[in-house]
Amino acid sequence: MLSIENRYAIDPMTARRFDSDELRKNFHVGGIFADGEIKLIYTHYDRMIVGGAVPAGGELVLDEVKHCGTASILDRREMVVVNIGAEGTVKAGETYAMAKGDMLYLGRGSGPVTFAGNGRFYILSAPAHKELPSRLVRIEDAARVDLGSQETSNERTIHQFVHPDVMESCQLVVGMTKLHNGSVWNTMPAHVHDRRMEAYLYIDLPEDQMAVHLMGEPTETRHLIVRNEEGAISPPWSIHSGAGSASYTFIWAMAGDNVNYKDVEMVGMGEIR
């Protein structure tokens, strides 16, 4: 079964006045992984789609998505699928066997996508201006960046999977950041990148733990409490950062005007409010 939720873009002045319910309705990502279902969120931030597919031993086919206005979702889009569950396969032309942590880039025109096996598949998709070859990217193929320190509780490793240093894509830049033992802060010091939106998914967080995800303009921050396999949609004007009550991993994805990972404006520690 396929379900799609629409999310319009919110401007920063409107977001300032939101209470917890409104913040969650607009920016929180939850409940996208359900057995036997494909659940998508169609955002109006760079028209990024985020979602989940859980075939639960069976098979699920993602083909026409009304919101895209094309016969098949990949007719004018590219996609990245990340397996956050057990072994599974994804078929789009070829069949790819995916273990936990593997990412699959599917180029524009790859056709319908079939999810099977015991994977829990996180889906990201953005409009694409040209056809590029599909590619399975494993963690050992990813570019690695070590950041932070124990002293500032933000020691972490950024694995850049779909990234200009690894492969070409149209809009999508996707990776996975793992917190080191005892470190809790991601993306702190924080940044904004007005030319690209970002989507976050927190994983490997123990069920009874949480992450406090920070969002908002640098001087008007708000927070979302997120649990395991939940995340946030980060508008281009918003910071995106978080602290976990335990160590965790998160998957970040961006779409927008460029694929330049370093095109960010840092927010000073003294500036954030």
Ligand X SMILES: O=C[C@H](O)[C@@H](O)CC(=O)C(=O)O
* Contacts with ligand X, residue ranges (CB under 6 A): 147, 156, 158, 175, 177, 186-187, 193, 198, 240, 252, 264
Q: How many Cβ atoms from other residues are within 10 Å of residue 129's Cβ?
A: 10
158 binds, among Zn ion, ligand X, none (CB under 5 to 8 A by kind): ligand X
Are 199 and 49 a contacting pair, CB within 8 Å?
Answer: no
Find, among 131, 135, 129, the residue nearest to 163 by Cα.
135
Q: Decide: residue 66, CB within 10 A, 0-12 exposed, 13-18 middle, 19+ buried.
A: exposed
Name the percent of the chain in helix, strand, coil, to the closest 5.
10, 45, 45
Output the smallest distance, CB 89 to Zn ion, in A.
31
Q: Could you give the 3-state DSSP secondary structure of residue 207? A: coil
Cβ closer to ligand X: 62 or 179? 179
Burial of 273 (0-12, 13-18, 19+ CB in 10 A): exposed
> For residues 60 and 176, which CB has a smaller minimum distance to Zn ion in the complex?
176
φ, ψ of residue 157 in degrees (nearest 5): -120, 125
Work out whether strand 37-43 and strand 2-7 pair parallel, antiparallel, or are unpaired: parallel
Residue 198 is assigned to a ligand binding site = yes
Question: Least separation, in Å, of the C-beta of 241 and Zn ion?
Answer: 9
Minimum CB separation from ligand X for residue 162, in Å?
Answer: 12
Nearer to Zn ion, 78 or 198 (CB): 198
Instruction: Decide whether 56 or 211 has the Cβ nearer to ligand X.
Output: 211
- Any idea which residue has 């994805």 for tokens? 253
Q: Confirm whether residue 193 is marked as ligand binding.
A: yes
- The smaller minimum CB distance to ligand X, of residues 37 and 155, is found at 155
Binds 156: which of Zn ion, ligand X, none (CB < 5-8 Å by kind): ligand X
* 200 touches, from ligand X, Zn ion, none (C-beta below 5 to 8 Å by class): none
User: Which window, 20-28, 32-40, 45-53, 193-201, contacts Zn ion (CB under 5 A)?
Assistant: 193-201
Binding-site residue numbers for Zn(2+) are 191, 193, 198, 240
Binding interface with Zn ion (CB under 5 A): 198
Binding-site residue numbers are 191, 193, 198, 240
